[in-house]
Structure formats: C-alpha cells, structure tokens
Amino acid sequence: MNRVHIKTYGCQMNERDSDAVAAMLRARGYRIVADENECDILLLNTCSVRDAAEQKAIGKAGYLQRRKKKQPDFVLGILGCMAQNRGASLLDQLPDVDLIIGTQKFHQVPGYLDNLRAAREAGLPVGASIVDIGEEAGSQNTIKDHLLPEANTSGGAANGEGGGGEGDVESERQVSAFVSIQQGCNMDCAFCIVPKTRGDERSRPMDDIVAECRMLAARGVREITLLGQIVTSYGRRDYVHTGGVTPFVQLLERVHAIDGIERIRFTSPHPRGFKDDLVAAYGRLPKLCGYVHLPMQSGSNRILRAMNRPYTRERYREIVEALRAVEPGMYFSTDVIVGFPGETEEDFEQTRELFEACDFDMAYVFKYSIRTGTPAADMGDQVADEVKERRNQVLLDVLERNSLRRTQRLIGAVEEVLVEGRDKSGARFTGRTRGNRVCVFDADPRLVGELVPLRIERASVSTLYGELVLAGVG
C-alpha cells in the first residue's frame, strides 16, 4: 500500500507543489506511479482560481469515492487551494475523503499517510478524516525537494492537468526546473481568492534558493523558472535595496552567476514590480530570457480601480514599451478578465484596444466568475454570461491573429532552442525558444539538455517546426 498517484489542477505553482510532495513521499519509501488505476493512494492537488476548477476536482473526487466501496483500503486525499478554501466543509459533499490538506501543510502529507497506512496494515479502524488547513510559520521553506528524473522509470512523477499527459515515463535528463521563491499575496485584488488560499506574502531565504539552483545545475538542469504568487515582491520585507536594486533583481543576479544555468525565467509578476532595475536587467543579464508574463486584467482605468489593481492603462503601456526598448524582440503573455462587474462596452473597447496594441504572443483570457469571499462577489451590475462570452471571443480572435503573425515572422530565422526531450508522439523532439515558443524537430537523444540552433520552416499559432542547422546532426 505504497503506490501514490498525484493529479494536479491549475498553475505552475501547483505543479511545483506536487513535485515537492512526490519527492518527499518517495524519500519516505512511497512509489510515485503514472497510472491512477495502479495506485493505492490518490492525491488531488487542486485549484480555486475559478469555480469551474473547484467543481472539476469535486467531480473527480466524487467519482473516486466509488472506488473505496470496492477497495476499502484505498486512500483519497485533497490538497492545495480548494482544500484551503473549503476545509472540512468538503466532507459534506465528499464524506469518504481521507485527507484534506491546505497550502501551508504540503510537507505534512508523508506523516499523515504513514499514520493511515499503519492503521490499515494493523487492521485498526480508521477514524475521522484528517483535515489540516492551519497556517504554519516557515512553510514556504518546505517546497524545496525535486523528484529525480530517474524516478520516472518506476512509474512517473506527479502529472499536471493539461500538461504533458500521464503516460510519459521515459527516463530522460531533467533540463528545466521550477524553483519556488515566494508564496502568498498581499495585493487584495477584488476578484481573487489567492490571498485566502495561499496566505500573506512569505519569501524564502535567498541563500537557500541559490543553493537549490546550484544543486539543480549540478544535476544537469539548464533552465530555471522562479515561481511566486507575486514573484516580483520577493524579499521586499526581508532584504534592503542595494544601489537601487530590489531584492528580486538581486536574486536574479545571483542565479545568473551559477555555472551551468543558461536560462532564467520567472512567473507570475505584477506590473507594479517592473521598476527601472528589473527592466534594465533584461539588457545586462543575458541568461534572463526575453519573455515576460505581464498580467493586464483590464485596459480600462475605471475597471482597474474597481479590481484594486494599482496601475493605469497608461502605466501598463509604458512598461511594455520600456521592455521592448531594452529587448526589441521581447515576447509577452498576459492575463485578462472580461465581464468584471460593471464592465461597459466602452470599458471593454479600451481593453480590446490595449490588448491589440501590446501585440501579445500568448494570453489567458478569462470570463469573470464569482468567487465567494472576494469583494467582487458582492458587487452589483454583474455582466450577463452571453456578453462575457462575446467579449471573450473577441479577444481570442485578436490573440490568434497576433500570435500567428508573430510566429510566421520567424519562418526562415534561426532560433536558439533548449532541447527538452521527446514530443508527445515520441517520434520527434521538442524544446522552447528564448521567447518561450514551443518547437518540434528531429534530433538525436544525446542533444537533450543542449542549446541548439534551429531554422524555422513552418509555424502554427502556438508551435514552430524546424530543422537543426548543426552539421551532421538531425
């Protein structure tokens, strides 16, 4: 009874949390398996950003409860944001769930599972479900373990919903890694439940983060993505600004100095964090990739104020232009919410105009959904669903045109690509450009982990196809 499957919903933070839980469990003697039908323990790491995400996880858990009727020893757990948001009330809908573990208690999962296993193996009756959603000082420092790539040969790591699928267990070198540097959020955006599910801002010690990155580099990792709810707020209460350089940029400088790390990315920032020092870093830190995820949310100053977003459309445009001045080939992605309470046609037109002017390469466009417990949930003048749907489609159409035009410009160009491994078909290889564009190409397995020049021959909206230009390779 030691085979664990972790199913992950939501963002890269959730993927990183699942990876850390998997590593801690494996160190305790558990096996991480890729097939949920082959596990004894199934953990759902959940998302609460939208109600649909919670309902999807609840539906999955309800389906899995049936399995407990046939397998009384089967263990079902709910972790993460939905567990934090709903707590013990989940048991009203899901009475057979064994574990409900919040976002500050991921490191407690191995101990709780050990206790459940011991009781079952001893034939003892199992008591009430375990619910632990309490705050814990220093919990941000526990997300530091990584599942070794060779673990995949015995059944795979935690899998992300909508990510790389559930069956890819080929043992390949790990060439990129997420590193959690900060958790929680103090921004209090009117639409967002993250401060409730993740708590206040808490940053990890800079020395610990740098040591983790060095360890990953020693394993062969070439690309690091620094993660946080508001990653640009890193260390603002813990470290002093030195010569006008913020703690976050100081951290970028230290990671940049690590031998073996060739690329640095980060997500998710806040426009407020793009001070002069961060903009300038793109011109003086060559390992910092020319790709920025810059959440816009709305292009209307009136709606931005209602959202409690502390910037204007004019300031947002200034940031985009400043970054492109430092790096003309900068790639941008963003988040936009349509149909926020009170959004008029004029407000939406301002959003559409700014969205088009910024020429985004990729975007997450969301139709506003009520999240109980947020200020926006109690606002009047809610926008009709059909209006949200229409506005959503308008932005998606703009994005498709922009993105296709941007990718087609690359046809004939040679781009630096980090070879990550085989694509989903298993027949070809995949990697990303510095601008975070996915590429598919033929290669030799020995090139996994290498930075290679790729001539782009064909382009779709989101994917580039090309041929290596190294002599004798292909």
Say if CB 354 and CB 316 are below 8 A apart: yes
Q: Is 358 assigned to a binding site?
A: no
Closest by Cα among 79, 74, 86 to 16:
79
Closest by Cα among 465, 425, 443 to 170:
425
* 450 three-state secondary structure: coil
**Tokens standing for 1?**
């009874």
What distance in Å separates the CA atoms of residue 358 and residue 463, rounded to the nearest whole number?
A: 21
Closest by Cα among 86, 77, 83 to 112:
77
**Tokens standing for 155?**
């059944």
- Give 405's contacts (C-beta < 8 A, 6+ positions apart): none
What's the distance, Cα to Cα, between the start and end of the chain in Å? 45
What distance in Å separates the CA atoms of residue 133 and residue 196, rounded to the nearest whole number?
A: 11
Say if CB 223 and CB 262 are below 8 A apart: yes
* 322 three-state secondary structure: helix
What distance in Å separates the CA atoms of residue 457 and residue 447, rounded to the nearest whole number?
A: 20
Amino acid identity, residue 297? Q
* 433 three-state secondary structure: strand
What distance in Å separates the CA atoms of residue 133 and residue 323, rounded to the nearest whole number?
A: 40
Q: Is 213 assigned to a binding site?
A: no
Tokens 């839980």 -> residue: 21
Which is it for the CA torsion 227, 228, 230, 231, positive or negative? negative
Say if CB 376 and CB 370 are below 8 A apart: yes
**Phi, psi (rounded to 5 degrees) for 226:** -85, 130
Greatest alpha-carbon pair distance for the chain in Å reads 67
Q: Is 439 assigned to a binding site?
A: no
Q: What angle do helix axes 313-326 and 276-284 make, rounded to 10 degrees?
A: 20
Q: Where are the beta strands (DSSP E) in 89-209?
A: 99-101, 130-132, 159-160, 176-180, 182-183, 202-203
What distance in Å separates the CA atoms of residue 373 and residue 88, rounded to the nearest whole number?
A: 17
What distance in Å separates the CA atoms of residue 61 and residue 99, rounded to the nearest whole number?
A: 12
| DSSP per position, 169-181 | -------EEEEE-
How many other C-beta atoms lie within 10 A of the C-beta of residue 218?
11
Per the annotation, binding residues for [4Fe-4S] cluster are: 11, 47, 81, 185, 189, 192
Per the annotation, binding residues are: 11, 47, 81, 185, 189, 192
